[in-house]
């Protein structure tokens, strides 16, 4: 069984640009969540997708948006990048059948300059 895979692993963008991060969920998982982790902090919940619909959102502005595809993979899009968006972005997948035990990917390190 494959785990959660994220791409790219590292990314450098300029302030004001747009970025798309990608995530493939673990086989059998139908729920995908995205988290932002700043240096030295715990991950912060951005949003979750279940069956291609947004199913909960944290305190992030609308320029953070997402998609989930029929194969349960997902994208995180961030528009109008700001310096404070520099962080490790983590994708996690789960399913109700497994009691919502979350499996995380290795993350995408985004640097905004």
Partner 1 sequence: KQEVTQIPAALSVPEGENLVLNCSFTDSAIYNLQWFRQDPGKGLTSLLLIQSSQREQTSGRLNASLDKSSGRSTLYIAASQPGDSATYLCAVCTGGGNKLTFGTGTQLKVEL
Binding site for partner 1 (CB under 8 A): 6, 31, 33, 35, 40-45, 48, 50, 55-56, 58, 88, 90, 92, 94, 96, 99-107, 109
- Residue with Cβ nearer partner 1 (12 or 80): 12
Q: Determine the Cα–Cα distance for residues 92 and 32; give it in Å rounded to an integer.
A: 6
Q: Which of 49, 78 has the CB closer to partner 1?
A: 49
Least separation in angstroms between CB 52 and partner 1: 15
In the bound state with partner 1, the residue whose beta carbon lies nearer, of 40 and 70, is 40
CB-based burial label for 14 (10 Å; 0-12, 13-18, 19+): exposed
Q: Pick the closer one to partner 1 by CB: 62 or 99.
A: 99
DSSP 45-64: EEEEEETTEEEEE-S--TTE
Angstrom distances, CA of residue 22 to CA of 32, 41, 71, 99, 107: 11, 22, 13, 25, 10
CB of 80 to partner 1, least distance (A): 25
């Amino acid at each position: 069984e494959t785990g959660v895979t994220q791409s790219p692993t590292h990314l450098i963008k300029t302030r004001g640009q747009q970025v798309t991060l990608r995530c493939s969920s673990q086989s059998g998982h139908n729920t995908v969540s995205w988290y932002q982790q700043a240096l030295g902090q715990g991950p912060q919940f951005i949003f979750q997708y279940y069956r291609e619909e947004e199913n909960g959102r944290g305190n992030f502005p609308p320029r953070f948006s997402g998609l989930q595809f029929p194969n349960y993979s997902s994208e995180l899009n961030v528009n109008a990048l700001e310096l404070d968006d520099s962080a490790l972005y983590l994708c996690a997948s789960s399913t109700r059948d497994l009691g919502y035990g979350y499996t995380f990917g290795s993350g995408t390190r985004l640097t905004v300059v």
